[in-house]
Structure 1
């Protein structure tokens, strides 16, 4: 229970369905100074909200200290990725490791057979294969199946998503009818542990000043000086500090040479294929050959028709049917077959 409306309603629904429910909040961030600056969904004030909801619903509530695990598996991963010139999605390891691994293990210690969250997603079972199938939530504008692609069959078998069949408006209405004060609480935005100054400032506060380097054009000529690789991502056009008649866009981030390359929009080449690492086939077995999928290259971006070509060592090639805007290395790409999440992986650096 994060103190938000979704997990609050999830707990209330299960309690009213007759489940024995134990509310659990996670302490993920650190001191009070961080709490003031962060937009955390699991901060001190959020835990107070969650406790009040648990009292209203009539269930016990405990707060577990996962700060060290969160820093090691999420924050350090996030920071290291940006320092390498990548654009990570920290919600993916947070779900995979923190919630559905470490928290799930703790749930077993409490003799809890299921782990329920407020995600807008659906899990059902294939009657022929017996595999658990992860699907989009009913409210596609709030669907969060993208963030769950890295879960295993064992984790899905113990997962409950009580609000997955509801719209966000339905969820707020249920919370209001139950007298939960969080019914109109704003949603957490962006990266929950990053302060209002943004992710670059967060990383700088963790590791110190960044090393500036050259901004290059396609021919390798120096156009300016960048402020440090973590300040940029592929496709970015704002904040480059370049005076040009037409906007310039970041086309490449070179960690080895500490440089970024930029080009005018009319020089941007559509990306025809990406290589994906750390592939996880969540709802299907690894295909024996190419399959056509709808690929989501970033959360809330529309699906694009693509062909997925599985290869060895947890890799796959994803070939877009139409050239796409460049996808940043480190970003998660999730593949769908209709409303089913079939698999996902992380964009590898080209070359």
Structure 2
């Protein structure tokens, strides 16, 4: 546990407002629920006395906070290798491999990125979700940013909500597109399958926007660059399937096997052996939450993705542009 101590004066503008509401504004690094718990436990005093959370303020009172930051995460640390791209006192950027689940959950109580982070830096147990502010699907590879302090976590969550974090992906989809575009369709839980998301109407779904541009065309597949304007669960996978170009290998959204005529043996093997969605988070850019420096990182696709690209290119060279 980490001991914390803060002293501050209630602003005059807070006159007539509740104690707990004002505390959340005075100490934004801590959640409102945590501050309220500290108030009830007597760890926060108002002019030297314990006060109830709903007490109305006059402005000018002295607030003193003395508390212990207890562990927010109950999971156990595990020695799982991580590929660290950048690390400083406040943030950590990593290149997540395909196959690694981000959070413990049903069916995956251990062996997750969260467990690995707790082993890498035990102090992360004091942060909600061990500092994880966004996620990648289990079988999506690539870059993620993790907060190492509460101020950094608050700032990063705010940046993500304002869409101020640039996230760029490489995706291999079925079919041959002739141009890029934008999918602006709300996404929500699938009505008949709790494991899936789906395009829904505005009342049932949350706004989701994916921009995509053509990077390479093959005989029956296309390599796309996808940039997220929003960050919904399975967003790229759902949007690409919605426009009838699901990701290669996607088990949930229809990325089944499609072999062009006269496919080379190497391409046949590569497509049959690619048993995850062909999606890689290749670029991540954001403003450092403390220094204000613009940080930008890139991660090359993993070996299986690269092998698929080589097979697609070789097949195109061997057969020409026309599938038929």
TM range (shorter): under 0.3
Q: Between the two structures, name the one with larger relative contact order (CA 8 Å, sep ≥ 6).
A: 1
**More helix by percentage:** 1
TM-score, length of structure 1 as denominator length: 0.24
Q: Which has the larger radius of gyration?
A: 2
